[in-house]
Structure 1
Amino acid sequence: MKIALFPGSFDPVTKAHVDIVKRSVGLFDKVYIGIGDNSSKKGLLSIEKREQMLRAVFETEPKIHIVAYDGLTVDFCKSIGATFMIRGIRTVSDFEYEKAIAQMNHSLAPDIESIFIVSKPGYSSISSTIVREILRYHGDVSQFIPKEAIPYL
């Protein structure tokens, strides 16, 4: 069975995240969306709220499982039997950052393979960080967020 983890903070989930997940589902038997607590980012939503939001967005997809975790992502992969880690790439700077993490993860867990999925051009400017900033100033984020996520913001 091919099991993958798509880790992230998902604070909040964006249409770009949804696109990466939907494109991943056909590649794997099971896809976990792992909600991690990123110590370098100031959160907007609680982990519980993010979990509820993601469940609402993906409630009709039986291959997708939503789980919150803490600690090293490679350790979490091992605990759920995931041998693939999915990462979305929007920009060249994303690639450089993700490449460094993938190489470090490979050193820690050589049996877990990082898979990079390049975002569709229309989603390359969407990030949770920018969406959080728009929300802080009471802007309309509906074009960047799946409609199922709006009630959780």
Structure 2
Amino acid sequence: MNRAAIYPGSFDPLTNGHLAIIQRGLNLFDRLVVAVANNPQKSPMFTVDERKALIREAVGNDPRVEVDSFDGLMVDYARTRGIPKVLRGLRAVSDFEYEFQLANMNKKLLPEFESVFVMTGEDYFFVSARLVREVAQFGGNVEGLVPANVLEALQRKLGRPPRS
């Protein structure tokens, strides 16, 4: 059986929490498409291509993980790919309300669409890409919150190593 799901997100930047969700997703699905959203309403730190490259490097050569990107509605991307399942990570109760609304809207737009939620591990429930970006921009140390390759990319992008 070839069970696949899409794990969409901005991944700006990829965090260890995202990697934990990918690993948990691989326990549930045979294949994951990590889909980087190109949201013109956001001002990302990394380009879509940079984010895709960082994800590819962080997940290594795992043949079960494909890295892609999309514009527009996730359900349209899911329909195009023929993968009507989405994997979403929940960090806290506050994530649930938004994800619940999103899941129901997606189901309304694509009736065969299914959302699968997994909790992030206790080590990363407080980590968000937005918070990592903010801490890094102010020179804070985000080591241990992001993969090593992402830490290096953040340091290059910001032109300085973070404070210890």
TM range (shorter): over 0.9
Match of 2:106 in 1: 105
Match of 1:119 in 2: 120
**Cα offset for 1:112?**
1.3
Q: Give CA-to-partner distance per residue, 1:18-73, whole Å, 9 cap, x none.
A: 00000111211210000002344331111111011001001221100000110110
CA distance in 1, matches of 2:127, 2:58: 17
Correspondences of 1:128-139 after superposition (within 5 Å): 128-139=129-140
Paired residues of 1:34 and 1:66 also in contact (CA < 8 A): yes
Paired residues of 1:49 and 1:152 also in contact (CA < 8 A): no
Correspondences of 1:15-54 after superposition (within 5 Å): 15-54=16-55
Q: TM-score, normalised by structure 2?
A: 0.89
- Higher alpha-carbon deviation: 13-22 or 53-62: 53-62
Q: TM-score, normalised by structure 1?
A: 0.95
- Higher alpha-carbon deviation: 141-150 or 93-102: 141-150
- One-letter amino acid matched to 1:146: P
Determine which structure has greater relative contact order: mean sequence separation of CA pairs < 8 Å that are 6+ residues apart, divided by chain length: 1
- One-letter amino acid matched to 2:126: S
**Cα offset for 1:135?**
1.4
SS at match of 2:34: strand
Paired residues of 1:2 and 1:83 also in contact (CA < 8 A): no
Match of 2:157 in 1: none
The structure with the largest alpha-carbon Rg is 2
- One-letter amino acid matched to 1:62: P
- One-letter amino acid matched to 1:125: F
- One-letter amino acid matched to 1:129: R
Match of 1:59 in 2: 60
Match of 2:84 in 1: 83
CA RMSD, Structure 1 to Structure 2 (Å): 1.2
| Equivalent pairs, count | 153
SS at match of 1:51: helix
2:74 is the counterpart of 1:69: no
- One-letter amino acid matched to 1:21: I
Match of 2:145 in 1: 144
Task: Identify unmatched segments of 5+ residues in structure 1.
Answer: none
Q: Which runs of 4+ in 1 moved over 6 A?
A: none
Task: Identify unmatched segments of 5+ residues in structure 2.
Answer: 155-164
Q: Give CA-to-partner distance per residue, 1:76-125, whole Å, 9 cap, x none.
A: 11111212100100011100000000000000011110000011122110
